[in-house]
Chains A and B, each alone.
Chain A
Amino acid sequence: MPEAYRKHLQRQISQHAHSEIIGMQPEGNWLLRAPSLRAKVVLLAKIQDEAGHGLYLYSAAETLGKSRTEYLNELRTGKAKYSSIFNYPTLTWADMGAVGWLVDGAAIVNQVSLQRTSYGPYARSMVKICKEESFHQRQGYEIITDMARGSEAQKEMAQDALNRFWWPSIMMFGPHDSDSPNTGNAVKWKIKRATNDELRQSFIDKTVHQAEIIGLTIPDPDLKWNEKRGHYDFGEMDWDEFWRVVKGGGPCSKQRLKHYNDAHNSGEWVRKAAKTYAEKQQLKQDVA
């Protein structure tokens, strides 16, 4: 395997894994405040899926000759990146709708395309993940629909969630193709099967209609159907904000990493106990 191809995959797959793991936090924030038992079990199942997705992806990344521990260390020390979207706070229950609808929706568009990525273990994990992810998007859309069709205050909350999550969601696809240093090789090597701008356009085209159906307004005055292109035209994203968040200046960047590290550290005794127990069992077997 060419070294540059391996390096690119190590980076991309582990970032993807880290995103799934950190992505549990904004949703975990609402677990104990879910408005009904049904909403709570659904959210719990979704968060468990995210953990599972992270683990599928770490498994795929490990086939590239780097251990799980090395990847986790890169996340813990802040050396590795994860999707910036998870550095935004989830302030209301409507945000759980916006996250599922928009963030998981954007992730699906990206991941469906990655099912045909050139590296087998990555492609196989994408197939598994896509199967599970569509439930996430639907549950999010259900939440935001209920809110948008609820009381005036709930509708306001839904619109506010859309206002806050729209731009960060469409920035999840990364910089424009012309400004994306990694896109060229990744497309050439068939790691990425579509460019950032192509995926973003596809997501916007699919999502606008879903917003219209539930009577919410996408917060972009430049958004307009372009008959000639057969796509929506849309406004420019705030790239200063994008790079600020990528570089660790997001509203929750510090909190997310700290929480991850706290959880890891407080589990230290469990890992130690499990290891000691396993060694003792082995010893018993060897003696017998």
Chain B
Amino acid sequence: MSNTDSQGPIWEVFIQSKPGLAHKHVGNLHAADKEMALQNARDLYTRRKEGTCIWVVPFDAIVSSTPEDDEAFFEPSNDKAYRTPTHYIMPEGAKHI
């Protein structure tokens, strides 16, 4: 956070819509600290029963791959069709599990 920026750092917000489901990214907000971030997230993203649990994560704590990494990261899986079930030939008449 720069000195001239009084909005506070960015926090990414994740909401669990029902117990047992995964938290899903819904957006972000600015807040000075984690407590304020959580309260702001409640006001901003759960005004209509959207969820049962909120996570707030400092934007700076997220490590992301970049489009430039795409090749190195994701290309190798293109030639590994043997990782998918359709790669295998079932004998005639055999039933699926």
Task: Give A contacts to B, CB under 8 Å.
Answer: 45, 48-49, 52, 55-56, 59, 62, 67-69, 72, 125, 128, 132, 268, 271-272, 274-275, 277-278, 281
Provide the residues of chain B in CB contact with A67, threshold 8 Å: 5, 7
Q: Which parts of B12-56 form the interface with A (CB within 8 Å)?
A: 27-33, 36, 43-44, 47-48
A59 touches B28 (CB 8 A): yes
Complex-state Cα separation, A59 to B43, whole angstroms: 15
Q: How far apart are the CA atoms of A281 and B35 in the complex, in Å?
A: 11
A72 to B6, CA, bound (A): 11
| Contact B5–A277 (Cβ < 8 Å) | no
| Interface flag for B4 (CB, 8 Å) | yes
Known contacts A132-B48, A277-B32, A278-B32; is-contact A59 B8 (Cβ 8 Å)? no
29 of the cross-chain contacts (CB-CB < 8 Å) are A48-B43, A48-B47, A52-B47, A55-B44, A59-B27, A59-B28, A59-B29, A62-B10, A67-B5, A67-B7, A68-B7, A68-B30, A69-B5, A69-B6, A69-B7, A125-B27, A128-B27, A268-B6, A271-B6, A271-B8, A272-B6, A274-B32, A274-B36, A275-B6, A275-B8, A277-B33, A278-B32, A278-B33, A278-B36
**Number of chain B residues close to chain A: CB under 8 A:** 19
Q: How many A-B residue pairs have CB under 8 A?
A: 51
The A-contacting residues of B in range 62-83, CB under 8 angstroms, are none
A residues within 8 A CB of B5? 67-69
Residues of A within 8 A of B47 (CB): 45, 48-49, 52, 132
Interface centre among A55, A128, A268 (most CB of B within 10 A): A55
**What is the predominant secondary structure among interface residues of chain A facing chain B?**
helix
Q: When A69-B7, A275-B6, A275-B8 are in contact, do A52 and B32 touch as well, CB less than 8 Å?
A: no
- Rounded to whole angstroms, the CA-CA distance of A48 and B43 in the bound complex is 9
What residues of chain B lie closer than 8 Å to A281, measured between beta carbons?
Answer: 33
Contacts of A278 in B (CB 8 A): 8, 32-33, 36
Which residues of A have CB within 8 Å of B44? Answer: 52, 55-56
Q: How far is the CA of A278 from the CA of B33 in the complex (A)?
A: 5
Closest to A68 in B: B7
Which residues of A sit under 8 angstroms from B48, Cβ to Cβ? 132
How many angstroms from the CA of A125 to the CA of B44 in the assembled complex? 12
A125-B8 Cα distance, complex, nearest whole Å: 21
Question: Chain A contacts of B32 at CB under 8 A?
Answer: 271, 274-275, 277-278
